[in-house]
Structure 1
Amino acid sequence: MNKRTTALSLGITLLVLIAGTVGGSFYMLKYALSPENRGKDMAGSLTYMEEMYPQITPWVDSLQKAHALRDTFITAPDGTRLHAFYARASRPRKETAVIAHGYTDNAIRMFHIGYMYNRSLDYNILLPDLRYSGLSGGNALQMGWLDRKDVMQWIDTAPALFGDSIEAVVHGISMGAATTMMLSGEQLPAYVRCFVEDCGYTSVWEQFSKELKERFGLPPFPLLYTASWLCQWKNGWNFHEASAEKQIARCHKPMLFIHGDKDDFVPTWMVYEVYKAKPDPKALWIVPNAGHATSYLLYPEEYTQRVKRFVEDNLNDRP
C-alpha cells in the first residue's frame, strides 16, 4: 500500500469516526434531554401518585372541590410559557414552599411533598412544571441549570400569590434537588430563607458520565465532550458549567441534605460531595434502606418531622 492510499484510508477512517461521534452526540442529547416524557401525562401522573401515596387523595379531592388548587402561568425571557400549580394554606400564612420535581416528572408527581407542606404543615405551596414537563413549554429538559432561572422567576411571583410578607423554603427532589442547589448560589430575595435538597446530583457532567458508563459501557471521551458542546449550541449551556457543587459553595443560607443510602441512580457518594462544598449552616440525613427518591415513601412521618424542624428553625430567622 503506497503513502497516498494509506493517507486516503486514514482520512476515511477519521471521517467515519467524526461522523459517528457527531451522530452519537445528537443521539445522546435527544436520549438524555428529550426522552419520551411521562411528565406530559397529567392524568396518568395523578393516578400513579394516588396509588403510591393514598394519603394524598382526600387532600387533592378537597382542594379541587374548593377550587383551591389553581393554575398559574408565566412567560420566561426567551418566550417559553411555564405552568405551576399553587394552593394557599388553610388560613393566611407567610410560610411558603416552592417545590421542584425530578427528571421526566411534573408538578403532580410532587404532590406528596405538596401534601406534606400544605396538609401536614399548613403552608402555602407553589409547584412549577419545569421545562418540557407537565403544562410547561420547551423542547428539552434542562437538568436544573436553565431551570434554576425559571424557579427564580417563580420565586419572584410568589408574593403576588401569597402576600408580600412571605417567608419561603425551596424543596426539590432529584433533578429538582439539583435545581434547588443550582439556584441557591444565585442572588435571591431575602424572603427565601432555606432549602431542602433530596437526592440531587453533584453536576450534570458527573451524572451523565455515570449513566454513560452504566447504560452503554462508554467512557466520557469523546462522546460526552461533543454532546456537551452540542448542548451549548442548542440550549446555551454545557454539562461542565451545570454544577450544583460549584453553585452551592456560594450559598450561605441553611440547607437540609437528604439522600437514601441505597440510591444507585444518583449515587449516595454525591451527597457527601455537595454537603462538603456547602458552607454552614447545613444538616444531613442519610436515610437507611432508601433508594432514589423514596425517602418520603418509606418514612413519611420521620421525613415530615425532620423537614418541619429544620424549616421552622430557619424560616423565621431574619438574615
Structure 2
Amino acid sequence: MKWIVLILVILFILVVAVSVYAANFFLNVALFRDNNWYDKMGHKMMNPDNFNKGQSQYDLTEEQQNQQGDIFWQTKFAQDHWLETDGEKLYSRLIVPHPESKKWVICVHGYRSYGQRDMAYVASQFSNQHYNILIPDLRAHGKSTGNVIGMGWLDRLDLLKWIQEVVKIEPHAEIILFGGSMGAATVMMTSGEELPVSIKGLVVDCGYSSVYDEFGAMLRSAFKLPAFPILTIANIMAKKKVGYSLKEASSVAQLAKNDLPTLFIHGTGDKFVPHQMLYDNMEATNGVKESLIVEKAPHLSSFIYEPEHYFDTVFEFIHRYC
C-alpha cells in the first residue's frame, strides 16, 4: 500500500513539473516577440494553411490582392505616422486619399503579422468607398517596438490612442474599427472601453473569444496537449510574466459592454481560431449585430475566398447601421 501511495505521489510531482515546464514554454513562445521558435516551427503547427500554398484559384487571388495592396501602400497620399507611448515607439501607415471626407477606418492586423501584410488590400477597398485609413503595427509587431505581445488586451489601450490620433487629424471623423484575427480581438476588447462618439461601428474577422480559450484550442490542436492543467498554470504565470492574465483578456467580457453595430466574420476552415468562437462573441454584444460565414475559408482568408460577397456585406452593413 505504501508503495502505491509513493508511486502516486511521484507521478503527481512529475505531472506538475512537466505542466509547469510546458506552461512556461508555451507562454514564452506565444507572448514574447524575441522567441524565434514560433517562426521556425510554431507558425506551421498552429496555422498549417499558410504553408500549403499552391496554384489554386485562391492562391492566385491572394497574390493579386497582395500586389494591389502593396501598390496602394506606396501611393503618394500615404505616409508613416508614429506614436510614442509608455516608452515604446509605435508605427502606423496614414493614408489620406480623400482629405475632404469625414469617413475613416482603422485597420488592425493579426498575430505576429503587421499592418501592410494583413490590411493593405483591405485598406484599398475602403479607399474605394471614400475612406481615409490608419493602419497601425501593434506593439511588438512590424516596425513598432516592444517585446511583450498583448493579444489584444494591452493593444486595446494603444488603439484608444490611435483613435485620438485620427480625431486630432479630423475632429469630425466618423470612424469604423476593422480588425482581423488578433486585430479583431483588439477591436472587440476595445469596444468595452469608453469610446468617443466618433466611433460608429466595428467589423471583426476571425477574432477569438478570449486569450484563454484561444490558447486552449492551440494546445489541443497544434501541440496535442490537454488544456488542463497546463493552461491553468499558464494563466497564473502570465500575470507576472506579461502583466495580464489569459482569462481577463476576454473579447466576450468586453463585448458585453458594447452597444455599437458589429459585423462578425469567420471562415469555417479556420484552423487557427475555431469558427465557433464567432457565436460566443456575437451572443455577448449588445449592439446591432450581423454575421458573415464563409464556407471552407481558412484563417483570415474570407476576403480571398469570396471577395465580392465579403466587401459587399461589409459596406452594406456599414451603410445600413453606421
| 1:260/1:293 contact within 8 Å kept | yes
Residue in structure 2 matched with residue 265 of structure 1 by the alignment: 272
Which AA in structure 2 matches 1:20?
V
- Report the AA paired with residue 142 of structure 2: G
| Partner residue in 2 for 1:312 | 319
TM-score, normalised by the number of residues in structure 1: 0.85
What is the identity, as a one-letter code, of the residue corresponding to 1:172?
G
1:189 corresponds to which of 181, 189, 196: 196
Matched, 1:115 2:147: no
Partners of 1:218 and 1:59 in 2: how far apart? Answer: 38
Structure 2 counterpart of 1:233, one-letter code: K
Q: Cα offset for 1:150?
A: 0.8
Q: 1:243-267 CA deviation, whole Å, 9 max, x = no partner?
A: 1111111100100111112223211
Inter-CA distance 16–268: structure 2 relative to 1 (3 Å threshold): closer
Residue number in structure 1 paired with 2:30: 32
After superposition, the CA RMSD in angstroms is 2.6
Contact 1:50 1:57 in 2 (8 A): no
Partner of 1:136: 144
Q: Which amino acid aligns with 1:134?
A: G
Kindly indicate whether residue 86 of structure 2 is the aligned counterpart of residue 82 of structure 1: no
Cα 1:276–1:222 change in 2 (3 A) is same
Q: Secondary structure of 1:122's match? A: coil
Task: From the superposition, tell whether residues 65 and 188 of structure 1 become closer, same or farther in structure 2 (CA, over 3 Å).
Answer: closer
TM-score by length of 2: 0.84
The total of aligned residue pairs comes to 299
Q: How far 1:283 sits from its partner (Å)?
A: 1.0
- The corresponding residue for 1:41 is none
Query: 1:254 touches 1:280 (CA, 8 Å); kept in 2?
Result: yes
Given that 1:56 and 1:115 are in contact with CA atoms closer than 8 Å, whether structure 2 keeps it comes out as no
Cross-structure match for 1:296? 303
- Alpha-carbon contact 2:252-2:284 (below 8 Å) kept: yes
Q: What is the CA–CA distance in structure 2 between the aligned matches of 1:253 and 1:62, rounded to whole Å?
A: 29
Cα distance, 1:50 vs structure 2: 10
Q: What SS does the aligned partner of 1:172 have?
A: strand
Which residue of the partner structure matches residue 233 of structure 1? 240
Letter in 1 for 2:25: Y
Residue aligned with 2:104, SS: strand
Contact 1:53/1:297 (<8 A) preserved? no
Distance 1:222 1:305, change over 3 A: same
1:275 and 2:275 correspond: no
The alpha-carbon distance between structure 1 residues 298 and 62, as it changes in their structure 2 partners (threshold 3 A), is: closer
How many percent identity over aligned positions?
34
Task: Pick one of 21, 28, 35 that aligns with 1:23.
Answer: 21
Residue 91 of structure 1 deviates from its aligned partner by 3.9
